[in-house]
Structure 1
Amino acid sequence: GRTSLAVSATDNPKIIAPVNETDNIIFLPLNDEAALKAAFADQGEEITAVIIEGIQGVGGIKEASIDFLKLIRSLSDQYNAVYIADSVQCGYGRTGIFYSHDYAGVEADVYTMAKGMGNGFPVAGISIAPKFKPWHGMLGTTFGGNHLACAAGLAVLEIMQQDELMKNAEEVGNYLIAALKEIPEIIEVRGRGLMIGIELPASLPHVKKDLLFKHQIFTGEAKPNVIRLLPALNLTKVQADQFLTKFKIALKG
């Protein structure tokens, strides 16, 4: 994820070395259809690819709209650009479907995967559309095709299918989201399945630390004050209730 062009496509200047700085990346506001159309109208012949998360992770669990994803697909086809679905955090069954982007009903050309792919074992991969013709040796990487990593990846897929973990992610996620929306202190609850963002007011900056140090519940965060829930896909409703109880205590300080 931190190769030269990849870090150029992030808005975090801390990980962009001067040698990696480039003007070859255009940043657009999420779900701004007018800005997307304008970018293609202005530089469409030069645009190689569009990269987007179906649901932003570090960006605060903000969901790309169905219309926006469909427009990306349409403009990519029109201008012969590649639609790249960044599914590293929001994919692999976390939202109740395998690739979160696909709730829009259109397919990307490339899906990137990692994180949950090995259930903790370091492994990553991509899915490519049939229009790309792979050939042996196309990808060169020191650890590519690692047998242990492949075994771990296969084991994860087998358990996901055997235990119906995507169905569980959808059901328990919907249960959690509905319960969280009943808590008055929360500004907004966002997300799908077991990828949930809880936006809190600035007056409650302590909640994440209290969950960790007082209740031993580890959560993610997004600035300025969003708690990210990314639990294991086999989370039960009993465990969800335990979290809700501790979360309400943490809200009270």
Structure 2
Amino acid sequence: MDLTQSIPSLVIANCVVVLAAVVQTSTGMGFGMIAAPMLALVSFEYVPGPMLFINLFLSLLMLGDGRAHVVRAEVKVLLPMILAGTMLGAAILLLVPADTLGILFSVLVLVTVAITIFARALALTPRNLGICGAAAGLMGTTTGIPGAPLVVLYQHEPLSKTRPTMAVVFTFSYVVSLIALAVAGMFSVGLALLGLLLLPGLAVGFWIGKRVRGYLSARIGRILMLSIASAGAVLLLMRSI
């Protein structure tokens, strides 16, 4: 992307990041679901690498904001399965022709939305944690949205627990996904710098999100997340076709 000719695109991308960061900071989830399809509409260069890179900063901020409430027993089960799913996701990206990535991306986002809407909440058993962890790794690497399988597990859990626990899980997921994308030749220093240009939007969204936690409920955040993700994915699919 020629940054000297894309200031409007950067402004729009930062506005998308503000909204996504507000929802994520308030409810513990939603950044990738909102940002991925909308950023892809602005420019496909933003996803998944730069978006994952910038979301890493948000996860670190949220982790520092409530690390005392992290549920370590659940994290220990999730992390190795996320790593396994990440490796599978990187392999899929290597096998998919470049000219069909837009279609694959939008379809996977719509699948993510469907999982979030229709899948029933699962018990937090080691087996379910492992399955959802692997799915999160796969979807995080291919779309930048690791959260949907985890929403199925954590949608009825207290936000005081969900926010910091997911911050640990997402931080790990983003790091291993970025490493996998770099190995696959789909993330570079240039794309990392592009991600850094989204920091203003992230900072503003985090600041607003902390102040609306008492007003933006998980239900409202969920409606916003699913509505924006669905609309963005449909538009992207139409454009890609």
The structure with the largest helix share of the pair is: 2
- In our comparison, the structure showing a higher alpha carbon Rg is 1
TM-score normalized with structure 1 length:
0.28
Give the TM-score normalised by the residue count of structure 2: 0.29
Structure with greater strand percent: 1
Bigger RCO of structures 1 and 2 (CA < 8 A, at least 6 apart) = 2
